[in-house]
């Protein structure tokens, strides 16, 4: 039990790591080394083993020097394995976007048998200091394959990742050494070297959490795992020893903590597209045709490249509007950008209010140039165009476009107001992008800081 308490104390000490900033839950596989404590339920379910049936030879084994008359009417209540340490390893792989996974799990411990004497008609034994005793060593193996289910939706920045596990396998109980173990009832000997190890079908279920502070050792990520699980052997290994088929399942309950080596990626790394300046030609031409990225909600995708004319001598970039050459900044000065909004100037969050649900996004990181194909136009907030990573909204991108056309509005709050299914998809988007200028596709990322919640008042 001391080991169980120590493992629980270690869990409390590690909790602050769950809020550390990191890339966190972005791995596809893991190898874990873990250890902790284990507790076993009774191997015999009825506890009515009669000590009065012991032979003199058996009494010498268990109670050397005791008068056999003292055992008349006495009984054993429980036969168990002594609780103590356990250690093992795990290997797992997560599929798709990381909600479900498969795991191979193996644990080992070496424990002694523990016999507890009942309190009826055995006061003489207790007075002699014989209340319970341990003997022998049993190698115990718990081997199973598990289905892993994440309780919370996996995200790149999540550092606290709880899970459920459900699996099946075997529990193997094998006496250690070559001396054999003599148990009461008919001089039964359970000897591992005689091939009498017991293998039992077992099911396992558990609850745990991964703590992912974003540590790295070279290309391998480092995480921590806490887990409590019950490996249920559906037939006690003691049933052939006592000659009785009426035995309860044996619970092998463990509480473990482990270190994880993380590899692979669930989500691709964010790519910041940087457009290098063109090399200076030896003799710049009078004019040249170039392609310029612009933000324009009236475009089908809300963003794209347009053909422009660059004049090296004046460093002007022009486009043709109604047959007239116009500076490109002037042609797109009608587009609202973040630098012109009150919330951005004041350093406040961008707020989206849909019915009773509210979401807040704050700026993080610096401005970045992003290719039009990497973004998807979501809509506008007070006229400000808002974009998301194209992969994050792949499933709803076309439906949002059709709703904007059907409702003849780009306002995000109006579009989501009547569509609960789209609101749920929108709540999964962690990062949005707002333009800092209408020409050049320079964006400021904003990250969600509050989950969508009901607002009173």
Q: Same structural domain for residues 29 and 133?
A: yes
Are residue 196 and residue 342 in the same domain, yes or no? no
398 Cβ contact partners less than 8 Å away, ≥ 6 residues apart: none
Whether 400 is in a domain gets the answer: yes
pLDDT of residue 195: 52
**End of a domain among 204, 233, 263?**
263
Same structural domain for residues 243 and 100? yes
Asked whether residue 413 is assigned to any structural domain, the reply reads yes
Same-domain check for residues 157 and 52: yes
Range(s) of the domain holding residue 422 = 334-454
For residue 229, tell me if it sits in a domain: yes
> Per-residue pLDDT tens for 366-397?
899 999 989 999 899 999 999 999 888 888 88
- Nearest of 212, 224, 228 to residue 259 by alpha carbon: 224
CA distance 35 to 126: 35
Query: Of 263, 297, 323, which one is at a domain's C-terminal end?
Result: 263
- The vertex-430 CA angle with 429 and 436, nearest 5°, equals 100
Residues sharing a CB contact under 8 Å with residue 13, sequence separation 6 or more, in sequence order: none
Q: Is 253 exposed, middle or buried, given 0-12, 13-18 or 19+ CB atoms closer than 10 A?
A: middle
| Residue 387, in any domain of the structure | yes
Q: In the numeric block, which tokens belong to residue 105?
A: 């799990």
Task: Report if residue 36 sits inside a domain.
Answer: yes
| Contact criterion met (CB below 8 Å) for 199 and 172 | yes
Q: Is the pLDDT at 457 greater than 50, yes or no?
A: no
Check residue 442 and give its pLDDT: 93
Give the span between the Cα atoms of 242 and 239, in whole angstroms: 6
Same domain, 60 and 207: yes
Q: Tell whether 195 and 338 lie within a shared domain.
A: no
Tell which of 263, 293, 308 closes a domain: 263
Widest pairwise Cα distance in the chain: 118
C-alpha separations of 243 from 28, 60, 202, 321 in Å: 49, 22, 21, 97
How many independent structural domains does the chain possess? 2
Mean pLDDT value of segment 55-79: 60
Q: Are residues 101 and 222 in the same domain?
A: yes
pTM: 0.49
Question: Band of the pLDDT at 15, cuts 50, 70, 90?
Answer: very low
Query: Which tens digits make up the pLDDT trace of 157-208?
Result: 888 999 999 999 999 988 765 444 555 443 444 544 445 578 889 999 999 9
Nearest one of 190, 150, 165, 203 to 28, comparing CA atoms: 150
In this structure, are 188 and 82 located in the same domain? yes
Angle at 171 between CA 165 and CA 173, to 5 degrees: 150
Residue 30 vs residue 129, higher pLDDT: 30
Indicate the helix (H) or strand (E) that contains 10. helix 2-14
Segment 267-315, tens digit of pLDDT: 876 666 777 888 877 666 678 888 899 998 888 888 988 988 888 888 8
Residue 308 CA to residue 188 CA, distance in Å, equals 94
**pLDDT over 90 percentage in the chain:** 33
Q: What CATH number is attached to the domain comprising 224?
A: 2.40.160.20
């Amino acid at each position: 039990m001391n080991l169980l308490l120590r493992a629980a104390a270690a869990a409390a000490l590690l909790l602050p790591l769950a809020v550390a900033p990191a890339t966190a839950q972005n791995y596809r596989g893991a190898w874990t080394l873990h250890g902790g404590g284990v507790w076993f339920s009774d191997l015999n379910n009825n506890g009515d083993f009669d000590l009065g049936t012991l032979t003199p030879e058996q009494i010498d084994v268990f109670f050397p020097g005791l008068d056999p008359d003292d055992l008349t009417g006495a009984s054993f209540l429980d036969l168990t394995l002594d609780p103590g340490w356990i250690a093992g390893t795990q290997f797992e792989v997560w599929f798709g976007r990381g909600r479900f996974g498969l795991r191979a799990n193996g644990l080992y411990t070496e424990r002694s048998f523990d016999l507890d004497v009942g309190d009826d008609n055995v006061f003489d034994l207790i007075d002699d200091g014989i209340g319970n005793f341990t003997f022998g060593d049993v190698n115990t193996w718990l081997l199973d394959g598990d289905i892993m289910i994440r309780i919370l939706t996996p995200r790149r920045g999540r550092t606290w990742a709880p899970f459920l596990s459900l699996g099946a396998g075997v529990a193997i109980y094998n006496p250690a050494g070559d001396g054999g173990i003599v148990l009461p009832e008919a001089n039964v000997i359970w000897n591992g070297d005689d091939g009498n190890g017991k293998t039992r079908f077992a099911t396992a279920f558990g609850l745990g959490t991964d703590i992912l502070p974003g540590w790295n050792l070279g290309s391998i990520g480092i995480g921590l795992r806490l887990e409590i699980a019950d490996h249920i052997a559906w037939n006690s290994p003691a049933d052939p020893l006592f000659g009785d088929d009426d035995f309860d399942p044996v619970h092998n309950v463990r509480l473990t903590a482990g270190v994880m080596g993380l590899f692979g990626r669930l989500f691709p790394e964010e790519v910041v597209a940087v457009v290098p300046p063109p090399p200076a030609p030896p003799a710049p031409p009078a004019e040249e045709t170039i392609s310029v990225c612009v933000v324009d909600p009236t475009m089908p995708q809300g963003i794209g490249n347009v053909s422009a004319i660059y004049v090296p001598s004046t460093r002007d970039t022009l486009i043709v509007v109604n047959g007239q050459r116009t500076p490109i900044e002037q042609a797109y000065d009608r587009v609202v950008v973040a630098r012109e909004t009150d919330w951005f100037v004041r350093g406040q969050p961008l707020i989206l209010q849909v019915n009773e649900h509210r979401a807040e996004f704050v700026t993080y990181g610096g401005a970045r140039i992003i290719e039009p194909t990497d973004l998807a136009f979501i809509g506008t907030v007070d006229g400000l165009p808002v974009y998301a990573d194209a992969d994050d909204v792949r499933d709803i991108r076309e439906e949002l476009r059709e709703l904007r056309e059907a409702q003849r509005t780009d306002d995000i709050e109006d579009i989501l107001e009547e569509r609960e299914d789209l609101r749920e998809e929108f709540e999964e988007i962690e990062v949005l992008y707002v333009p800092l200028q209408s020409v050049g596709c320079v964006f400021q990322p904003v990250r969600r800081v509050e989950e969508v919640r009901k607002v009173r008042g």
